[in-house]
Structure 1
Amino acid sequence: MTDTVGERARAKAPGLGPVTPETHLAWILRRIPLLAPISVSLREAHGLTLAEDVTAPHALPLWDNSAMDGYAVRASNLATATPDTPVSLRIVGEVPAGSPADPELPTGTAVRIMTGAPLPSAADTVVPVEHTRGEHPGEQWAESSVAILRAPVPGAHVRRRGEDVSAGSILARSGDHLGARRIAALAAAGVSSVRVRPRPRIAVIATGSELRGPGETLSRGQIPESNSVLIASLLAEHGIVPETVTVNADDADAFGARLAELAPTVDVIITTGGVGPGRHDIVRIALEAEPGVRAVRVTVRPGQPQCAGSLRGGAWIFALPGNPVSAAVSCELFVLPALRHAQGRRDTQRPRLAATAEVGWRGASERLQVLPVRITVADGVLRCRPAVDPGGVSHAVGGHGSADGYALVAAERGDVAVGEQVDVILVDA
């Protein structure tokens, strides 16, 4: 007699637990593999993570250059210049930005120069055009001679070669996230390509026979499906577009077959629903046959039941609870840090800031409470208040939709009083 995946699994214990959120995340981060590095052009690198240090191929700036529109001069010629007794200099050339010109600068002369243009080798200072007077009233620029109206400080308004970055210095390190500012810095220093870890290939599966798609007629016991939209959107906020997004009915063997099909083709599978101890919790049942996956009860509210680990087919799986807020909290606490880690990020978690509670609420006994909150800033102080009823969080998808972040209340803390400080994660600021 041949038994099925579901029949074999139902005979097994529902999993380990309880474990703290910190312990569960640490277990994941120790095991989830890093994605293999690839080389990409700098224009393709936005949002990715460096897999190796990047050094400057040349100095930045490349040469001494002007920080202002004005006149390149020798400061020693102008020690006596004042508005009442200006010093007149003969103009012997002009250097616009991008010009290779390096005009001579005999005593008593000046060169018109524009912002970013290379400083003539004989000059040591730039006098802004605003500190000068031309030959004719009302004209900003002089043609043949310029009157300098004040004595400049030697070296003023000159950007020195290498003062920003020296050739060979480290511009960015392995594990750095490539945002707009860092990419611009690399481009300015002459970097054209980088070694990065790619975005993970992800499949999203929402499970539940009660789920119906947008616009479908709902019968008794059926509900609109939102978790696949939720998870795909959370990934999109981090620059990841899932390879596939599907909805599966409560059939453990069909689900197991789907996992076997997907596991060799993606890096990560994220599922929602079916991870509890119930007879129809098909995700947990199917995953009982996977030795690299563990089921735990995490001391967090919401999001207590969790399954995570490596599938025999190759992919890593995160099996999250089916209640929408539980799935979102699980994604924030465990999935997104793990995906950042797999991409080589050092900053695997979002910053946590202190906020003042505008109202009091009940804590969660013996569990970390992750409460969706609305966040405001008043008089320079970050403030928060619950976006959902603290007594019924996991299913409150409507209130969750108005939340700006999550308040984190430690298991041993108890209730939160008005005016107390709590740590918050900003997720929609």
Structure 2
Amino acid sequence: MTGPTPRTIAEHVAATLARVCPLEVVDVRLDADDVLGLVLARDVVAATPVPAFDNSAMDGYAVRQGDLPDDGTEVTLPVLADARPGHPVGVVGAISGPTRPGSEDESGQRSRPQRSGVVRIMTGAPLPDGFDAVVPVERTSTGRFVAGRPTTERTVTLGRQHRDHVRRAGTDVGVGAVLARAGAAMIPGLVAVAAAAGVTTVPVHRRPRVAVISTGSELAALGTTAPGTIPDSNSLMLAALARAAGADVVRVGAVPDDARALASALDSVVGMKSAGLEPSRPADFIPTTDLVVTSGGVSAGASDVVREVLAAGSAQEVDVAAVAMRPGRPQALAAWRGVPWIAVPGNPVSAFVSFTLFARPAVRRLAGRRGLPADRTARVARGWSSPPGAEQVLPVITGPDGVSPAARDGHHLSALPAADALAIVPAGVTEVAAGDEVAVRPLGEAT
């Protein structure tokens, strides 16, 4: 294996993304528990209008405006029926009483005479046939309705209003209207409008499956202690980052600095061996994982087990890089049994930064997201120093006055809980002063 390839952050992002592509498209029911966060593969269009029918925007009385004087003079009319959501009222006016003559349609047929009157109607109920407006109850002689009380008023006094208080069918969303474009993520608001518009399934890219492995004989499982060991925080952190990026996660936990143990762990997460075949080549495996992320073992130490496995020849498409960044210089890319593998350093802050810069965009692409998360520019509230000759990636806190380091030493693990962004300082800058502008990548952005 040759020495590390010198590379910028942008170049390593491009090298990482070249190894992944959007996953296959599946149709998922809108009421599925895991639909949120999935990315649309095609545009979603309305199957039915919203509202689906003319309905009342107020509690009140449905009227025929022809029954009401144009000047707003109030009249007293009989209450003909009661309309509530889910209980539409058909043609009203069959009972005896004063009527208005019917009108002729285009064929010359005269419509049925309609009785003058109103229909007591609640918000959301379909507007009865032949009625064209609603007068709110508070603007009538009734004053208000009492919940649960049936219709008691036989007549009501009311007048013409400036608004009709009717939600017309299709005025919000028309049939065939595009609700969301391909590449958009399913969010609660989109679920709501799609359901209202008659959509039952959405075409989305399958959710990525990411396996996380941490390496290091010094790592101990959560809650266990032994002399010379430290808690395995990396696999927990990387698993949480992958879930936050929109992936399903398989967390193996810590693997000792042993090449056979790491190879076995990689085999266990990338797929299932086909019956009767030795796992000697990628075709012998049925992939069950879309991406592997490991932490540790990518530097030049005697115990760097990832470098040892990469050099042994079992991995494919090996690319060891020296990225001009602090922290996180040693990086590696490969494939194991054909599954893309991103190897990041073992220092927790380096691993956190590396996942955010390289693995998160890979998860986004697998999920069907288009483009990269956009950096923004922010003013510096409290300055800091930056190492020469490398891009600095510093956990920061954004506030009303600008961004500041998340901890006195931004490369300490204690900086991560408070940080809500990463500041990316160009390689030629050694001092970042208050008032300077700096590129910032938010941490809270979804996939």
TM-score, structure 2 length as denominator? 0.82
Q: Where do residues 113-124 of structure 1 align in structure 2 (5 Å cutoff)?
A: 113-124=121-132
Is 1:421 aligned to residue 421 of structure 2?
no
Aligned with residue 273 of structure 1, among 274, 296, 314: 296
Alpha-carbon offset, residue 121 of structure 1: 3.2
Task: List aligned pairs for 1:131-170, cutoff 5 A.
Answer: 131-134=139-142, 143-149=153-159, 151-153=160-162, 156-170=164-178
Specify the alignment match of 1:282 in structure 2: 305
Q: Residue in 1 aligned with 2:206?
A: 198
What is the CA–CA distance in structure 2 between the aligned matches of 1:414 and 1:70, rounded to whole Å? 70
Summarize the alignment of residues 5-404 of structure 1 with structure 2, pairs less than 5 Å apart.
Answer: 12-17=1-6, 19-44=7-32, 45-80=35-70, 82=72, 85-104=73-92, 106=114, 108-134=116-142, 143-149=153-159, 151-153=160-162, 156-220=164-228, 222-264=229-271, 265-288=288-311, 289=313, 290-311=315-336, 313-346=337-370, 348-349=372-373, 351-376=374-399, 381=400, 383-389=402-408, 393=411, 396-404=412-420
Moved over 6 A (4+): 137-142
Alignment-mate amino acid for residue 144 of structure 1: R
1:411 aligns with 2:427: yes
Task: Note the residue ranges of structure 1 that are not aligned, 5 or more in a row.
Answer: 1-11
Name the Cα RMSD after superposition. Answer: 2.6
**C-alpha distance 142-424 of structure 1, shift in aligned 2 (>3 A):** farther
Distance 2:389 2:318 in 1: 25
Deviation for aligned residue 1:76: 4.2
Q: 1:282, 1:139 → 2: CA distance?
A: 75
One-letter identity of the residue aligned with 2:421: G
**Match of 1:47, as an amino acid?**
G
Cα displacement (A) at 1:413: 4.6
What SS does the aligned partner of 2:385 have? coil
Deviations 1:298-322 (A, max 9, x none): 22222121112433x1211110111
State the match for 2:277 in structure 1. Answer: none
On the 8 A contact 1:16/1:295 being kept in 2, the answer is yes
Question: Is the alpha carbon distance of 1:417 and 1:183 closer, same or farther for their aligned partners in structure 2, counting shifts above 3 Å?
Answer: same
**C-alpha contact 2:64 2:130 (8 A) present in aligned 1:** yes
Matched-pair contact (CA < 8 Å) for 1:75–1:152: no
Distance 1:382 1:245, change over 3 A: farther
Report the TM-score when normalising by structure 1: 0.85
3-state DSSP of counterpart to 1:297: strand
Measure, in 1, the Cα distance between the counterparts of 2:250 and 2:144: 65
Which stretch of structure 1 is more off in the superposition, 122-131 or 419-428? 419-428
Query: What is the rounded CA distance, in whole Å, between the counterparts of 1:23 and 1:74 in structure 2?
Result: 69
Q: Is the 8 A contact 1:354 1:382 kept in 2?
A: no
Q: Deviations over 1:18-72 (max 9, x none)?
A: x222222122223303222222221221222222222222111111111111122
CA distance in 2, matches of 1:122, 1:206: 71
What's the offset of the Cα at 1:275? 0.9
| CA distances 1:352-395 after superposition (whole Å, capped 9, x unpaired) | 4444322111134343322112333xxxx3632212345x61xx
Task: Please tell me whether the aligned partners of residues 377 and 438 of structure 2 are also in contact (alpha carbons under 8 angstroms).
Answer: yes
How many residues matched?
401
Q: Look up the equivalent residue of 1:300 and give its one-letter code.
A: M
- Which SS does the other structure have where 2:262 is aligned? helix
> For residues 232-252 of structure 1, what are the alpha-carbon distances to aligned partners after superposition, in whole Å with 9 as ceiling and x for unaligned?
122233443422322111123
Q: Tell me, what secondary structure is at the counterpart of 1:183?
A: helix
Distance 2:124 2:186 in 1: 26
Give the residue type in structure 1 aligned to 2:406: A
Matches of 1:398 and 1:218, distance apart in 2: 23
Paired residue for 2:282? none
Verify the 8 A CA contact 2:255 2:265 in the aligned structure 1: no
Aligned-residue sequence identity (percent) comes to: 39
**1:368-426 alpha-carbon deviations (Å, 9 max, x no partner):** 322112333xxxx3632212345x61xx1123233232223233454222133334333
Cα distance, 1:213–1:269 mapped onto 2, change above 3 Å: same
Tell me the alpha carbon deviations over residues 59-89 of structure 1, each in whole angstroms, 9 at most, x when there is no partner.
111111111111222334434465xx52323
Distance 2:379 2:5 in 1: 36
Structure 2: which 5+ residue stretches go unaligned? 94-113, 272-287
Alignment check: 8 A CA contact 1:211 1:225 kept: yes
Pairwise CA distance, 1:324: 0.3
Structure 2: which amino acid aligns with 1:336? R
Paired position in structure 2 for 1:6? none
> Which one is further off, 179-188 or 229-238?
229-238
8 A contact 1:81–1:148 mirrored in 2: no
Aligned partner of residue 244 in structure 1, secondary structure: strand
Partners of 2:353 and 2:398 lie apart in 1 by 17
